[in-house]
Protein backbone atom coordinates (compact mmCIF):
# COMPACT_ATOMS: atom_id res chain seq x y z
CA UNK A 1 0.00 0.00 0.00
CA UNK A 2 2.83 2.41 0.86
CA UNK A 3 5.11 0.91 -1.82
CA UNK A 4 7.97 0.42 0.63
CA UNK A 5 10.96 -1.50 -0.73
CA UNK A 6 10.72 -5.19 0.17
CA UNK A 7 13.91 -5.34 2.22
CA UNK A 8 13.10 -2.19 4.18
CA UNK A 9 9.54 -3.38 4.74
CA UNK A 10 10.77 -6.66 6.23
CA UNK A 11 13.27 -4.87 8.47
CA UNK A 12 10.60 -2.50 9.77
CA UNK A 13 8.10 -5.32 10.26
CA UNK A 14 10.54 -7.49 12.23
CA UNK A 15 11.68 -4.53 14.30
CA UNK A 16 8.10 -3.62 15.15
CA UNK A 17 6.91 -7.17 15.84
CA UNK A 18 9.83 -8.59 17.82
CA UNK A 19 12.40 -6.40 19.55
CA UNK A 20 13.26 -3.22 17.73
CA UNK A 21 16.85 -2.45 16.72
CA UNK A 22 18.15 -5.86 17.81
CA UNK A 23 15.71 -7.60 15.47
CA UNK A 24 16.67 -5.29 12.62
CA UNK A 25 20.36 -6.06 13.22
CA UNK A 26 19.65 -9.81 13.34
CA UNK A 27 17.81 -10.10 10.03
CA UNK A 28 19.75 -7.45 8.09
CA UNK A 29 22.61 -9.84 7.19
CA UNK A 30 20.11 -12.45 6.00
CA UNK A 31 18.42 -9.86 3.76
CA UNK A 32 21.77 -8.39 2.65
CA UNK A 33 20.38 -4.98 3.55
CA UNK A 34 22.23 -1.76 2.81
CA UNK A 35 23.40 0.42 5.70
CA UNK A 36 20.92 3.12 4.75
CA UNK A 37 18.04 0.62 4.94
CA UNK A 38 19.18 -0.57 8.37
CA UNK A 39 19.49 2.97 9.67
CA UNK A 40 16.07 3.99 8.34
CA UNK A 41 14.41 0.88 9.82
CA UNK A 42 16.05 1.50 13.22
CA UNK A 43 15.00 5.15 13.10
CA UNK A 44 11.42 4.22 12.21
CA UNK A 45 11.19 1.70 15.05
CA UNK A 46 12.76 4.11 17.55
CA UNK A 47 10.45 6.98 16.61
CA UNK A 48 7.31 4.85 16.66
CA UNK A 49 8.32 3.14 19.90
CA UNK A 50 8.83 6.47 21.64
CA UNK A 51 5.50 7.83 20.42
CA UNK A 52 3.59 4.75 21.56
CA UNK A 53 5.42 4.61 24.91
CA UNK A 54 4.24 8.12 25.74
CA UNK A 55 0.75 7.31 24.45
CA UNK A 56 0.47 4.18 26.61
CA UNK A 57 1.49 6.08 29.73
CA UNK A 58 -1.20 8.68 29.07
CA UNK A 59 -3.83 6.06 28.20
CA UNK A 60 -3.32 3.87 31.28
CA UNK A 61 -5.93 5.69 33.44
CA UNK A 62 -8.45 5.40 30.59
CA UNK A 63 -7.93 1.71 29.79
CA UNK A 64 -9.12 0.57 33.25
CA UNK A 65 -6.84 -2.46 33.21
CA UNK A 66 -5.19 -4.06 36.23
CA UNK A 67 -1.46 -3.48 36.63
CA UNK A 68 -0.64 -7.00 35.43
CA UNK A 69 -2.93 -6.70 32.42
CA UNK A 70 -1.44 -3.35 31.45
CA UNK A 71 2.03 -4.87 31.76
CA UNK A 72 0.95 -7.75 29.52
CA UNK A 73 -0.46 -5.27 27.00
CA UNK A 74 2.69 -3.11 26.95
CA UNK A 75 5.04 -6.08 26.78
CA UNK A 76 3.07 -7.61 23.91
CA UNK A 77 3.00 -4.49 21.75
CA UNK A 78 5.83 -2.01 22.39
CA UNK A 79 8.94 -2.17 20.25
CA UNK A 80 11.98 -2.19 22.57
CA UNK A 81 12.56 -3.50 26.09
CA UNK A 82 13.45 0.08 27.04
CA UNK A 83 10.05 1.23 25.76
CA UNK A 84 8.31 -1.48 27.76
CA UNK A 85 10.03 -0.50 31.00
CA UNK A 86 9.48 3.22 30.40
CA UNK A 87 5.75 2.74 29.81
CA UNK A 88 5.10 0.50 32.83
CA UNK A 89 7.50 1.94 35.44
CA UNK A 90 5.09 4.79 36.36
CA UNK A 91 2.36 2.20 37.05
CA UNK A 92 3.90 -0.35 39.44
CA UNK A 93 6.57 -3.02 39.81
CA UNK A 94 3.91 -5.62 39.03
CA UNK A 95 3.29 -4.01 35.66
CA UNK A 96 7.02 -3.85 34.93
CA UNK A 97 7.59 -7.51 35.86
CA UNK A 98 4.73 -8.73 33.69
CA UNK A 99 5.75 -6.49 30.78
CA UNK A 100 9.37 -7.64 30.82
CA UNK A 101 8.41 -11.33 30.92
CA UNK A 102 6.03 -10.93 27.98
CA UNK A 103 8.53 -8.83 26.04
CA UNK A 104 11.31 -11.38 26.56
CA UNK A 105 8.94 -14.03 25.21
CA UNK A 106 8.71 -11.97 22.03
CA UNK A 107 12.49 -11.54 21.97
CA UNK A 108 12.82 -15.34 22.06
CA UNK A 109 11.12 -15.39 18.65
CA UNK A 110 14.03 -13.46 17.14
CA UNK A 111 16.20 -16.52 16.56
CA UNK A 112 13.62 -18.64 14.68
CA UNK A 113 12.45 -15.59 12.72
CA UNK A 114 16.01 -14.74 11.62
CA UNK A 115 16.72 -18.35 10.65
CA UNK A 116 13.50 -18.69 8.63
CA UNK A 117 14.12 -15.40 6.82
CA UNK A 118 17.70 -16.46 6.12
CA UNK A 119 16.62 -19.82 4.69
CA UNK A 120 14.01 -18.21 2.43
CA UNK A 121 16.42 -15.56 1.15
CA UNK A 122 19.19 -18.13 0.70
CA UNK A 123 16.97 -20.42 -1.36
CA UNK A 124 15.73 -17.53 -3.48
CA UNK A 125 19.27 -16.35 -4.13
CA UNK A 126 20.49 -19.81 -5.12
CA UNK A 127 17.47 -20.27 -7.39
CA UNK A 128 18.22 -17.06 -9.24
CA UNK A 129 21.88 -17.93 -9.62
CA UNK A 130 21.02 -21.53 -10.69
CA UNK A 131 23.67 -23.07 -8.46
CA UNK A 132 21.96 -26.32 -7.70
CA UNK A 133 25.17 -28.19 -6.87
CA UNK A 134 26.58 -25.58 -4.57
CA UNK A 135 27.56 -27.00 -1.17
CA UNK A 136 26.59 -25.32 2.06
CA UNK A 137 29.44 -24.17 4.26
CA UNK A 138 29.17 -23.19 7.89
CA UNK A 139 29.64 -19.58 6.88
CA UNK A 140 26.75 -19.80 4.42
CA UNK A 141 24.26 -21.03 6.99
CA UNK A 142 21.64 -18.36 7.76
CA UNK A 143 22.29 -18.34 11.50
CA UNK A 144 22.48 -15.04 13.42
CA UNK A 145 25.49 -15.93 15.55
CA UNK A 146 25.24 -12.85 17.75
CA UNK A 147 21.78 -14.00 18.85
CA UNK A 148 23.22 -17.36 19.91
CA UNK A 149 25.88 -15.45 21.81
CA UNK A 150 23.16 -13.43 23.50
CA UNK A 151 21.37 -16.60 24.60
CA UNK A 152 24.64 -18.12 25.87
CA UNK A 153 25.56 -15.04 27.89
CA UNK A 154 22.02 -14.85 29.29
CA UNK A 155 22.27 -18.47 30.41
CA UNK A 156 25.66 -17.93 32.05
CA UNK A 157 24.44 -14.79 33.81
CA UNK A 158 21.42 -16.66 35.20
CA UNK A 159 23.82 -18.97 37.07
CA UNK A 160 24.73 -16.10 39.39
CA UNK A 161 28.47 -16.35 38.73
CA UNK A 162 28.94 -12.62 38.26
CA UNK A 163 28.25 -9.92 40.83
CA UNK A 164 25.41 -7.44 40.38
CA UNK A 165 27.88 -4.56 40.05
CA UNK A 166 29.77 -6.34 37.26
CA UNK A 167 26.57 -7.23 35.42
CA UNK A 168 25.24 -3.67 35.68
CA UNK A 169 28.53 -2.33 34.32
CA UNK A 170 28.44 -4.68 31.34
CA UNK A 171 24.81 -3.78 30.63
CA UNK A 172 25.61 -0.05 30.75
CA UNK A 173 28.56 -0.65 28.43
CA UNK A 174 26.30 -2.52 26.00
CA UNK A 175 23.86 0.42 26.00
CA UNK A 176 26.74 2.79 25.23
CA UNK A 177 28.06 0.61 22.40
CA UNK A 178 24.56 0.22 20.95
CA UNK A 179 24.09 4.00 21.07
CA UNK A 180 27.42 4.52 19.29
CA UNK A 181 26.50 1.94 16.64
CA UNK A 182 23.12 3.54 16.03
CA UNK A 183 24.72 7.00 15.92
CA UNK A 184 27.21 5.73 13.36
CA UNK A 185 24.42 4.38 11.18
CA UNK A 186 22.47 7.60 11.53
CA UNK A 187 25.43 9.81 10.63
CA UNK A 188 25.91 7.75 7.48
CA UNK A 189 22.42 8.49 6.15
CA UNK A 190 21.89 10.95 3.36
CA UNK A 191 18.93 13.25 4.11
CA UNK A 192 17.66 12.67 0.58
CA UNK A 193 17.64 8.91 1.21
CA UNK A 194 15.80 9.39 4.51
CA UNK A 195 13.14 11.44 2.74
CA UNK A 196 12.86 8.84 -0.02
CA UNK A 197 12.76 5.74 2.20
CA UNK A 198 12.01 6.84 5.74
CA UNK A 199 8.59 8.48 5.43
CA UNK A 200 6.98 5.46 3.79
CA UNK A 201 8.58 3.08 6.27
CA UNK A 202 7.41 5.15 9.23
CA UNK A 203 3.83 5.30 7.93
CA UNK A 204 3.71 1.56 7.24
CA UNK A 205 5.23 0.87 10.66
CA UNK A 206 2.72 3.22 12.24
CA UNK A 207 -0.15 1.28 10.70
CA UNK A 208 1.29 -1.98 12.01
CA UNK A 209 1.83 -0.42 15.42
CA UNK A 210 -1.83 0.60 15.50
CA UNK A 211 -3.19 -2.80 14.45
CA UNK A 212 -0.92 -4.70 16.84
CA UNK A 213 -2.23 -3.17 20.11
CA UNK A 214 -5.81 -3.18 18.81
CA UNK A 215 -6.17 -6.96 18.67
CA UNK A 216 -3.94 -7.50 21.68
CA UNK A 217 -6.07 -5.15 23.75
CA UNK A 218 -8.99 -7.41 22.91
CA UNK A 219 -6.94 -10.39 24.11
CA UNK A 220 -6.12 -8.62 27.37
CA UNK A 221 -9.77 -7.75 28.00
CA UNK A 222 -10.77 -11.39 27.47
CA UNK A 223 -7.98 -12.41 29.86
CA UNK A 224 -9.26 -9.96 32.48
CA UNK A 225 -12.88 -11.10 32.17
CA UNK A 226 -11.99 -14.79 32.33
CA UNK A 227 -9.76 -14.26 35.34
CA UNK A 228 -11.78 -11.83 37.44
CA UNK A 229 -15.28 -11.84 35.98
CA UNK A 230 -17.32 -8.95 34.64
CA UNK A 231 -18.31 -7.58 38.04
CA UNK A 232 -14.94 -7.91 39.78
CA UNK A 233 -13.03 -4.92 38.47
CA UNK A 234 -9.42 -4.67 39.44
CA UNK A 235 -8.28 -1.41 41.02
CA UNK A 236 -5.06 -0.09 39.46
CA UNK A 237 -2.21 0.84 41.81
CA UNK A 238 -2.48 4.54 40.99
CA UNK A 239 -6.07 4.58 42.37
CA UNK A 240 -5.29 2.82 45.63
pLDDT tens digits along 143-166? 556 667 777 887 888 888 888 888
Mean pLDDT, the chain, whole residue set: 73
Measured between alpha carbons, how far is 118 from 13 in angstroms, rounded to an integer?
Answer: 15
Domain ranges (residues) in the chain: 6-126+143-239
Higher-pLDDT residue of 218, 232: 218
How many whole angstroms separate alpha carbon 125 and alpha carbon 128? 5
How high is the pLDDT of residue 219? 59
| Residue 170 banded pLDDT, cuts 50, 70, 90 | confident
- Arithmetic mean of pLDDT, 18-34: 82
pTM: 0.66
Give 31's contacts (C-beta < 8 A, 6+ positions apart): 7, 10, 11, 117, 121
User: What is the sign, positive or negative, of the torsion defined by CA atoms of 127, 200, 45, 34?
Assistant: positive
**Does residue 206 have a pLDDT over 80?**
no
Question: Predicted confidence band at 136 (pLDDT cuts at 50, 70, 90)?
Answer: very low
Asked if 13 contacts 27 with a C-beta cutoff of 8 angstroms, the reply is no
Amino acid sequence: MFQVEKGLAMLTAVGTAICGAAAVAAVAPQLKSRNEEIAVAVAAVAILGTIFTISYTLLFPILSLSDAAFGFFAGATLHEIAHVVAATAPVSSTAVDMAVVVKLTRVALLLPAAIVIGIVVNRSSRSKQKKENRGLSLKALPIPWFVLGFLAVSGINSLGIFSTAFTSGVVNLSYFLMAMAMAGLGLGIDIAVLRRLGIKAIFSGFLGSILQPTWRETTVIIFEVNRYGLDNKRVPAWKR
